Amino acid sequence: MSSDLLLVSASIIALGAASKLLADRYEIPNVVFLLGFGILFGPAGVGLIDPTLFDDSLSTIVSLAVAIIIFEGAFTLSASNIRDAPKSTLKLVTGGAALTFVSLCGLVHYLLGLQWNLSCLIAALLVATGPTVITPVLNQIEVREGVKTLLETEGVINDVTASVLGAVIFSVAALGYHPDPFAGHMGADVIVDFVSRIGTGVLIGIITALLAGYVLRYLSLSPQNSRITVIGTALISYAIADALASEAGIVTVAVAGLILGTVDIPFEREIAGFSGDITTIVLSVVYIILASLLDFRHLLTLGVGGLIVVVLAMVVIRPLAVFLSTTGTQFTWNERTFIAAVGPRGIIPASTATLFSLQLANAGVPNAKSVVHVVFLVILVTVVVEAGGAPLAAKTLDIIPMTVLIIGGSRIGRALADRLDKRGENAVIIERDDAVINELRSDGYSVVRGNGTDAAVLEEAGGDRAKMVIAATSDDDQNILACQTARTRFGIDRLIAQVNKLENADAFSDLGVQPVTPVTATVDMMDDLILRPNFYEWLSAVGDENEIAEVVVESDAAVGEQIQQIELENDAVIALFRRDDEFIVPKPTLRIREGDVVTLIGKREAVERSVAMLE
């Protein structure tokens, strides 16, 4: 028996390593291969993996694995990074989650004929869009930082929400044989129990983070001891919180991870790397074991109703929740569509549904096994279609952004990054001062540590996909060298530099770098105020209400047409043409050619839609 368990355990780890290699090779999310290997080598396949060997310890293995996964996701995310998309994030994890829960509860009840208590339990678990699937997907796709942060934040928070809400409904309604968990006083019991478990987890999470932070800061630990301390603290705090209130441990490790990821602690990068490696291992183990439990004969018993539930969850409920939550935010229409198309379910619903289903079956609850069957059907389809298809969706929707590199995290660099972010650009700051880096990261900026004159640092920041480099340090020598390195190593032609000494401006121009000096910038601004006060006032709202955008015309619908025949948005106009290095003031009869550079001005949303018509 022990030898069989050893062989199976070693095989699972080997399969996990193989899935990681395949995922990197073919740019497909790792979880797709993990689930495939679990099914292929489980009892339904060749039979190499026997999940019954883990029966006595499966619950413990899954619980500890989930604790590590949630902590690592929260630690890497850090609470301050949520700043990137505050409105949409809050709406998506509250109103969006509520819409998902209520809609799925009704669909499962009416389409599959399950009792209300089990329908609500299934819906609660499927609220989760876990980081265990989202993060690997985003590691393989270059998306704007705001999109990445929203999806990762949603995954971490919804994992916690789904775990606690599912546990409450399980204990109060499902296991207690209450057919309707929200009828009469039962609804109050659910709410009180939910809030109690959340509160317990938050309190212990704060205490855990404070203690761990003190130890890391003041006891002069080595990098190795720091890594072990953090992971050990996360596991013990999870166990304590879960002993006090079921599923409160999930809340504890999420809160502790968010706090520790935000505060300034020694060896932060080493801790993140270590926890990430451990997460990769435990993910492999848990996903393969849980997938090996699948019996496709049971999934087929769900019939057409089960497929309809999955399809409606993907193409109706998820898009509705996302578009309602992201209305009026900085996300473009294509980015919102991508977010709506990426909502795969992960380890939390898989593991929790497995454990709940077994306990419900032992308690004699009718249709108990339907919990795990419905949840796994949704997981399988969403992982294969949404996670596996995410790279294609990103490419089709053209949301993979070119990067704008900003050398220097000064006030100028930060203000510029803010403006670029509002316009949908992917701004990355390169900074070498550790104190400044910590401050920038705590404020939510995307930062790479290093010297901007170093080609390796530029590459790490995205030099191979950068469309522009802006050198904004107080050192002219560093600024010009950084621009030269960007051009010679990565072929970047759009180079802008802050010139601190006016006499150096000609040298920058001679090297093909557009110089901006504090003196000339101030004079130009004052001149605009004197000669063009109305236009200057309009420009001050660019990025908020107003917008100026340039687009290279490629649309077949626009090429060959006269300007007066192009039906632009009412609040957008074409202000300037550039054709073959010649500037042209547009006239109604001017015909548009492919490759023309068109400058549009007007209201922000109208300009964005007009740009989409021309590009």
Residue 520 belongs to domain with CATH number: 3.40.50.720
Are residues 387 and 514 both part of a single domain? no
Are residues 407 and 383 both part of a single domain? no
pLDDT of 269: 75
CATH assignment of the domain containing 178: 1.20.1530.20
The answer to whether residue 8 sits within a structural domain is no
Are residues 551 and 521 both part of a single domain? no
Taking CA atoms, 526 is separated from 497, 498, 503, 515, 532, in Å, by 21, 19, 21, 19, 10
pLDDT of 306: 92
**Token duo for residue 282:** 């435990």
Are residues 196 and 311 both part of a single domain? yes
Q: For residue 71, count other CB atoms closer than 10 A to its CB.
A: 33
Are residues 500 and 602 both part of a single domain? no
Are residues 424 and 381 both part of a single domain? no
Integer Cα distance of 292 and 54 in angstroms: 11
pLDDT of 96: 93
The answer to whether residue 533 sits within a structural domain is no
The answer to whether residue 30 sits within a structural domain is no
DSSP state for residue 93 in the 8-state scheme: I
- Three-class DSSP category at 8: helix
Are residues 386 and 407 both part of a single domain? no
pLDDT of 1: 47
Integer Cα distance of 204 and 290 in angstroms: 29
Domain range for 202: 57-397
Domain boundary among 397, 430, 459: 397
The answer to whether residue 116 sits within a structural domain is yes
Are residues 284 and 390 both part of a single domain? yes
**Token duo for residue 144:** 């704007």
pLDDT of 323-349, one tens digit each? 999 887 778 788 899 999 999 987 778
Our measurement of the distance from residue 184's CA atom to the centroid of its chain's CA atoms, rounded to an integer in Å, reads 39
Report yes or no: 131 and 322 within 8 Å, Cβ to Cβ.
Answer: no
pLDDT of 129: 85
Q: Which amino acid, one-letter code, is at 58?
A: L
The answer to whether residue 41 sits within a structural domain is no
Number of domains present in the structure of the chain: 3
Domain boundary among 506, 528, 550: 528
Q: What is the 3-state secondary structure (H, E, C) of 236-298?
A: HHHHHHHHHCCCHHHHHHHHHHHHHHHCCCCCHHHHHHHHHHHHHHHHHHHHHHHHHCCCHHH
Report yes or no: 471 and 498 within 8 Å, Cβ to Cβ.
Answer: yes
HSE-up of residue 50 (Cα within 13 Å, Cβ side): 9
Our measurement of the distance from residue 541's CA atom to the centroid of its chain's CA atoms, rounded to an integer in Å, reads 29
The answer to whether residue 227 sits within a structural domain is yes
Are residues 69 and 171 both part of a single domain? yes
Query: Angle, nearest 10°, between helix axes 333-341 and 318-325?
Result: 140
The answer to whether residue 42 sits within a structural domain is no
Q: Which amino acid, one-letter code, is at 54?
A: F
Taking CA atoms, 164 is separated from 80, 129, 134, 251, in Å, by 24, 14, 20, 8
Integer Cα distance of 277 and 20 in angstroms: 12
Integer Cα distance of 415 and 419 in angstroms: 6
Listed in sequence order, the residues at least 6 apart from 476 whose beta carbon sits closer than 8 Å to its beta carbon are 497, 499, 500, 501, 504
- What element of type H or E holds 70? helix 58-77
pLDDT of 534: 81
Write out residues in the chain with pLDDT < 50, as ranges. Answer: 1, 79-80, 84
CATH assignment of the domain containing 595: 3.30.70.1450
Are residues 415 and 379 both part of a single domain? no
Nearest to 513 by CA among 539, 533, 532, 486: 486
**Token duo for residue 489:** 């190593």
- What element of type H or E holds 107? helix 97-112
Are residues 509 and 572 both part of a single domain? no
Are residues 509 and 378 both part of a single domain? no
Listed in sequence order, the residues at least 6 apart from 94 whose beta carbon sits closer than 8 Å to its beta carbon are none
Domain boundary among 476, 494, 528: 528
pLDDT of 340: 94
The answer to whether residue 25 sits within a structural domain is no
